[in-house]
Amino acid sequence: MIPRNRYLHLLQNALKRTPITVLLGPRQCGKTTLAHMLTNLQNITYLDLESHEDLSKLQNPTLYLESLRGLVVIDEIQQKPDLFPVLRVLADKKNKYTKFLILGSASPSLIKHASESLAGRIEFIELGGFDMEETGVENLEKLWLRGCFPRSFLAKNNKDSMDWRENFINTFLQRDIPQLGIFIPAPAMRRFWTMLAHYHGQIWNASELAQALGLSGKTVRNYLDILTQTYMVRQLQPWYENIHKRQVKSPKIYLRDSGIFHTLMSIPEKQILWSHPKIGASWEGFMLEQILKTFPSQNIYFWSSHSGAEIDLVIMSGGKRYGIEFKWNEAPTITRSMQISMHDLNLEKIWVIYPGKNIYPVHKKITVVSATKILQIIKDIY
């Protein structure tokens, strides 16, 4: 078992601060395993809402939950969103003997009443799959190819990993989505998801995708929101300001897990990935997720102008702006786009993350950095 100490620390602190903590993330990312790691706490009651036996205990949820003491873990909360008002009542009683840990596989906006019912009484933590800090930088290529889901990464070989991801996709489409009350034919969503993989790392263009799939713009927007709210897709928002240039105002689209991306693109092995035309986009999406899993800030955007200048990430911290570029290149050099971004956005510094091993400056404010050193970038910013 790979220890997940950073998330465990976040979870323990949240449980001390608030009566209700919600741990969110995609299916199979390790939420239940992390909850079971709370071995230092005694008197834990665990309820799995996919279990008929546990559901039967909640026929009168107020009466049952009110009788419990210690930590109460409720898994797959999206199966029973009507529990949130009950939890609000229990939280307002300020019972110091009971804490609730809620696990869910959908965003608060998709789980009805989550944020509204528990405002001021709840703390959200988002759990992703493994990251380089957890697996070790020596496993970077394996993590990139197989993705961050624990069972995919820990599979005996690449074939078993690919088979697990294919089964995950099928189960997600055929069971998980309908359980959220969303009834879209699995083949239609699979086609959209696969098409989206071809646009990985590009600006969202609803009309282009709608035309390619023979659907309406409203329908593809709905499909995108569903995959976003179930942690399969990331919509990276643009940064724009009044700099007398036409700037992009649509989000960039990424599949959040590189392994799922490789499955939808039929890339089972490293040798195929190395010669694939989407390797640059794959690298960008993978490294983007590694950065976002470890940055404690939500003030992260991309920037792009209609004249072609762009920067992959713009990070706001301490009143300053920083830029990050991802390059699948053995020896990246300074580009005109970097110079324009530096000037127009008044960036403090730009880091260029590449797959090599060295660190070297290409400008007094631009440094090329090995992918294995991204934690150092975080320390420099924060």
255: number of CA atoms within 13 Å, CB side? 26
Encode burial over 294-331: b for 16+ CB neighbours within 10 A, e otherwise: ebeeeebbbbbbeeebbbbbbbebeeebbbbbbbeeee
CA distances (Å), origin 190, targets 18, 169, 173, 185? 39, 8, 7, 9
pLDDT digits (tens, 9 = 90+) for 225-267: 999 999 999 999 999 887 778 899 999 999 999 999 999 999 9
Total-model pTM: 0.93
Q: Can you give the pLDDT at residue 110?
A: 65
Bridge partner list, 300: 315
pLDDT digits (tens, 9 = 90+) for 128-179: 999 999 999 999 999 999 999 999 999 999 999 999 999 999 999 999 999 8
Residue 332 has pLDDT above 70, yes or no: yes
pLDDT digits (tens, 9 = 90+) for 203-218: 999 999 999 999 999 9
Report yes or no: 367 and 354 within 8 Å, Cβ to Cβ: no
Walk me through the domains of the chain, giving residue ranges and CATH numbers.
5-126 (3.40.50.300), 136-274 (1.10.10.10)
Greater confidence, 356 or 122?
356
Split at pLDDT 50, 70, 90, the class of 113 is low
Greater confidence, 254 or 309?
254
Tokens representing 47 are 């309820």
H or E element in which residue 126 lies: strand 122-126
- The C-alpha torsion from 130 through 133 and 135 to 138, rounded to 10°, is 140
Complete DSSP assignment for 255-278: ES-HHHHHHHTT--SHHHHHT-TT
Split at pLDDT 50, 70, 90, the class of 111 is low
Complete DSSP assignment for 52-111: HHHHHTTSSHHHHHHT--EEEEEE-GGG-TTHHHHHHHHHHTT-TTEEEEEEESS-TTTS
